[in-house]
Structure 1
Amino acid sequence: MSTEEVVAAAPQQLTSKASRSERRNLRALSWGHALEWYDWAIFGLLSVYLGAAFFPSDSPLASTLNALAVFAVGFVARPLGGVVFGFVADRFGRRKIMIFAVGAVALGSFIIGVLPDYQSIGVIAPIIVVAARLLQGLSAGVEAPLGTAYALELVPNRPGYVAGFFAFFNNLGNLLAPTSIFLISLLLGPEALAAYGWRIPFIVGGLFGLIVLWLRRTLPETLDTAAIRTVGAIPTKDNSVWRDVRKYWLSVLATVFIVGAIQAYNYTWIAGLPNLANGTFGEDPTAVFAITTGMGVFLTVGAFALSRILDRFPMSRWFVIARIAAIPTIFLALLYSQPGIGTLAGVMFGGAIVLLLNMTIFVVVSNSLLPQHIRGTGLGLGYGLGVAIFGGTASYLLLWLQSQGMMWVFPIYIATLCAISVVLYVLAKRRNGLFVGK
C-alpha cells in the first residue's frame, strides 16, 4: 500500500477548536463564497427583470426564460474555469487564484448593475451581459471547489467544522440576496424595483468584492506544506497532474453527480420556484422575496449549528443519509402547481431541512474523494461539470416543463440524480478510499 493510500485509510484526529488564525483565514475565504452565492442568487431571483431589461419579448415568460438561459451560460463556463484555474492552483499555489476569482465575480456583478438596457444600446447590452456571466462562470468554477480545498488544507483536522463554517457564509450570501431585494421592493415599490431598483443588488455585490479582496491579501500559501509532502511529492510536470486525475476518474465522476444533483435541487428552491411564482403565477413579489428570505435565515442559522456537530460522526454517513432523504422531498415541488402564496411557503420550508444538510456537506464530501495535490484540477472539473449540466439548467427546466404541463417529470429527474450520486460515491469510496475525514 502506498503512502497516499495509508493516509487516505487512516482516520484523522479531530481537534476541539480552530485557532484564531485558522478562523481568520476561513473568514477571508468564506466571505468570497458568500459573495459568489449572493451574486448567483440575485441573478436567478431577478431574472424576470433582467429579461425585460436585456432580452425584451412580447411574452414575460419568454423574457424570463431568455434571462435564465444566460443564467445557465454562466454555469457552462464553470468547468473550463475550474479545470484551467484549478490546474494552475495545483501547480503554482492557491492564494493568487483565490484573489483573482473573487475579483472577477465582483467585476461581472458590477458591470451588469450599471449596464444600459436593450432600449438604450441595443443588441450590445445582451452581449455584454453574456460576457459578464462568462467571466463570472470562469471564476466561480474555481472559487467554490478550490476555496473549500484550500480551507481543508488550512484546517485539516476539522472537516465538519469547515463544512458548516463555509455553508454558513454560503447561505448568508443566499440570504442577503433575497433580503436586499425584499427591502428594495418594500422601500421603492414593485414598479421602481422593475424599472431600476433591481440594479442596486448587483452594484452592491461589485463594491463588496473590494472588501473581500482586502481580506484575502494575507492568506498563506498551502501548496508546499508538510502535509502535502507527506502524501506525495508536489507534481513538477503538467502530465503528472492529469495522470493522477485520470487515475481517480471514478471520484471525479462521483463528484459530478454529488454536486450536480444537490445544485439542481438547490436552484429549484432558490430560483426556480420563486421565478415560477413571480413570472408565471403573478404572485406578489414582496411576499415571494419574504418567503425566500425566511428560508435563507433558516439555512444560515442551521449551517452554523451543524458546524458544531458534524465532526461527531463520519462525513460519509452524513452524506448517505442526507442524499437519500432528498429523493422523496423533491416531490414537494409538485404541490405548487397553481397560484397560492401559502402553498409556496409550505413547499419552500418543507424542503429546507433536507436542503440544509445536503448543501452544508456536499463540497467537503467531494473533496474527500481526491488526494490533495490534484483537488484543484479534479474538483474544478467535477464540480464545474455537475453545476453546469444539472444545476445551471434546473430553473429553466422547471419553468419549461411547467409551461408544457409536464411538471411531474422534474422531481423524477432530480430524484434519479440523487440516487446516482449515492451509488457513485459508495463505489468511489470503496475503490480509492477517503482523503478527508472518514
Structure 2
Amino acid sequence: MNATTAASVAGSRQNSWRAVAAASIGNALEWFDLVVYGFFAVIISRLFFPAGNETVSLLLTLGTFGVSFFMRPLGAIVIGAYSDRAGRKAALTLSILLMMSGTLIIAILPTYQSIGVAAPLILVLARLMQGFSAGGEFGSATAFLAEHVPGRRGFYASWQMASQGLTTLLAAGFGALLTGQLSPEQMASWGWRVPFFFGLLIGPVAFYIRTRLDETPEFLAAETTQTPLRDTFATQKLRLVIAMGVVILGTVSAYLMLFMPTYGVRQLGLAPSVAFAAIAVTGLIQMVFSPVAGHWSDLHGRTRIMLSAAVLLLVLVYPAFAYLIAHPSFGTLIVWQIVFGFLVSGYFGATPGLLSEIFPVQTRTTGMSLAYNVAVTIFGGFGPFIIAWLISATGSKAAPSFYVMFAALLSIAALLGARRKLGFR
C-alpha cells in the first residue's frame, strides 16, 4: 500500500468514526428525552394527570407516552422524504432542533396544580413534537451510518442501537441517583426536571457536530428521486411489510425495558433506586454488545443472528418472568436484565443493517422510517400502556411476557419472509 492509498484509507476511517460520533451523540439525545418521560411516568402522572386513582392516573400518563407515537409516521414521511431528497445531514439537523424544542417545553412546563388543564394539554403538544422528530431520526441516522462503509454496514449501522443503550444507561443513572438521593417531595417539586435540562445541555453540542458533517458517499454517488414516498409505495410494498415485521420484536422488547422501573416498583415492591440501577445494566449491555452483534451480522448474515435471538426470547421470556415474580429481589432483577439485555441487543444490533439493505439508496430513509415508525407506533409506543392493561385485566404479573411472545412470533415470520422472498441470509 503506497502513501497516498494509506492516507486515503486513514481519512476514510476517520470520517467513518466522525459519522458514528455525530449520529450517536445526537441519536442518544433524541432517545434520552423520550426514555426519561417513560422512566418518570409515576411522578409525571401525579403532577399532570391527578385523576384521584393512581392506576387511572398512570394509564393516562402512559397513554400520553403512546399518543406522541401517532406523530412518528408523519415525521417518518416528512423528514424521511426530505432526507432522500436533500441528504442525510440536513434531516439529522432538523430532527435534533425539533427534539430540543419539545424537551424545553417539558422541562419548564408548570404542573396541573399551577395552570390546571392547560398543563396536560401542553405536555401532549410537546410529546407530539418529540414524536414527529423521532419519526425522522431513526431512518436518517441509520442511513447516515450504513452508507459510510457499505462493506461493514451491519457494524456501523449497529451504533444506532448502541446509542440507544447509552440513552438507557444515562436515563437509568439519573433515575437511580435522583430517587436515591432526593425525597419524594423534592422529586415531585423539581427533581424530575433535572434529566430534561441535562438533555438541553447536550443538544447544542450535538447540533454543532451534525452541522459540520460531510454527506454520505453512497448518497452523493446515487441518482436521487424527487418522489421517494410515491416510489416506496409503488414498488416496495412487500419490503415495507417485511421491514415492519422485523422491527416488531425489537420495539416491544425495548419498550418493555423502558417499563421495567415502573414494573419493579408497582408489581415487585422494589425501591425505585434499585429498579433504575437494574435497568442501567441493560443499557450498558446494549451499548457494548450491539456493535458486536452488528459485526457478527456482517460475517454470518443478518437474519441468522436475529432468528437465533428471537427464538431464544420466545422460549425464555415467560420462565424468566415467572422466576422474577417468585424471587423479587435486586439480584434476581439484575440477572433478568442481563439475560434480556444480551438477547435484545443480539436481535436489535443486527436490525439496522438489515433494514438499510432492504431498501435502495434512493428511498432508503423513507422506507426505513416508515417501516420502523409504523411498527413502533402500533406495537411499541403503546407497549407500556398495553402491558399495564394486561396485568390489570389478567391479574397476572407475568402478562408482559405474553406480549413479547406474540411479538416474537410476528418477527420470526417476517425474518423467514426476508430469507425466502428477498434472499437475505
TM-score by length of 1: 0.88
Partner of 2:36 in structure 1? 42
- What do residues 267-290 of structure 1 show as CA deviations (whole Å, max 9, x unaligned)? 112x22221222454421111111
User: CA contact under 8 A between 2:255 and 2:383: conserved in structure 1?
Assistant: yes
User: CA contact under 8 A between 1:248 and 1:432: conserved in structure 2?
Assistant: no
The alpha-carbon deviation at position 256 of structure 1 amounts to 1.5
Match of 2:313 among 291, 314, 326: 326
Change (3 A) 1:65 1:16: farther
Structure 1 residue 288 and structure 2 residue 278: aligned?
no
- What do residues 294-347 of structure 1 show as CA deviations (whole Å, max 9, x unaligned)? 222222222354455443222232122222222123322344447823443343
Q: Identity, % of aligned pairs?
A: 29
**1:297-376 alignment to 2 at 5 Å?**
297-306=284-293, 309-331=296-318, 332-337=320-325, 340-342=328-330, 343-376=332-365
Change (3 A) 1:174 1:148: same
The alpha-carbon deviation at position 263 of structure 1 amounts to 0.8
- For residue 190 of structure 2, give the secondary structure of its aligned residue in structure 1: helix
User: CA contact under 8 A between 1:94 and 1:150: conserved in structure 2?
Assistant: yes
> Which one-letter code corresponds to 1:123 in the other structure?
V
Change (3 A) 1:30 1:260: same
Match of 2:72 among 54, 67, 78: 78
Partner of 1:4 in structure 2? none
CA distance in 1, matches of 2:178, 2:397: 32
Change (3 A) 1:158 1:101: same
Partner of 2:16 in structure 1? 22
CA distance in 1, matches of 2:64, 2:229: 32
CA distance in 1, matches of 2:281, 2:218: 43
Change (3 A) 1:346 1:164: same
Partner of 1:242 in structure 2? 230
Figure out how many residues of one structure are paired with residues of the other and give that number.
414
Change (3 A) 1:395 1:333: farther
Structure 1 residue 255 and structure 2 residue 255: aligned?
no
CA distance in 1, matches of 2:418, 2:163: 29
User: CA contact under 8 A between 1:254 and 1:424: conserved in structure 2?
Assistant: yes
The alpha-carbon deviation at position 48 of structure 1 amounts to 0.3
CA distance in 2, matches of 1:376, 1:174: 25
> Which one-letter code corresponds to 1:401 in the other structure?
L
**1:2-401 alignment to 2 at 5 Å?**
19-222=13-216, 225=219, 227-228=221-222, 233-236=223-226, 238=227, 241-269=229-257, 271-306=258-293, 309-331=296-318, 332-337=320-325, 340-342=328-330, 343-401=332-390
CA distance in 1, matches of 2:401, 2:200: 35
Partner of 2:4 in structure 1? none
User: CA contact under 8 A between 1:163 and 1:363: conserved in structure 2?
Assistant: yes
The alpha-carbon deviation at position 433 of structure 1 amounts to 4.5
User: CA contact under 8 A between 1:182 and 1:286: conserved in structure 2?
Assistant: yes
User: CA contact under 8 A between 1:48 and 1:278: conserved in structure 2?
Assistant: no
CA distance in 2, matches of 1:62, 1:18: 54
Change (3 A) 1:49 1:338: farther
Change (3 A) 1:139 1:202: same
The alpha-carbon deviation at position 128 of structure 1 amounts to 0.8
User: CA contact under 8 A between 2:67 and 2:128: conserved in structure 1?
Assistant: yes
Change (3 A) 1:41 1:334: farther
Partner of 1:422 in structure 2? 412
CA distance in 2, matches of 1:128, 1:279: 27
- The runs of 4+ residues in structure 1 deviating greater than 6 Å are 15-18
Comparing both structures, which one devotes a greater share of its residues to helix?
A: 2
Unpaired segments of 5 or more residues in structure 1? 1-14
CA distance in 1, matches of 2:327, 2:303: 40
Change (3 A) 1:333 1:262: farther
CA distance in 1, matches of 2:157, 2:216: 19
Q: CA RMSD in A?
A: 2.4
The alpha-carbon deviation at position 141 of structure 1 amounts to 0.6
CA distance in 2, matches of 1:196, 1:278: 21
Moved more, 78-87 or 358-367: 358-367
User: CA contact under 8 A between 1:184 and 1:193: conserved in structure 2?
Assistant: yes
Change (3 A) 1:275 1:114: same
The alpha-carbon deviation at position 32 of structure 1 amounts to 1.3
CA distance in 1, matches of 2:180, 2:138: 32
User: CA contact under 8 A between 1:277 and 1:339: conserved in structure 2?
Assistant: no
Partner of 1:3 in structure 2? none
TM-score by length of 2: 0.90
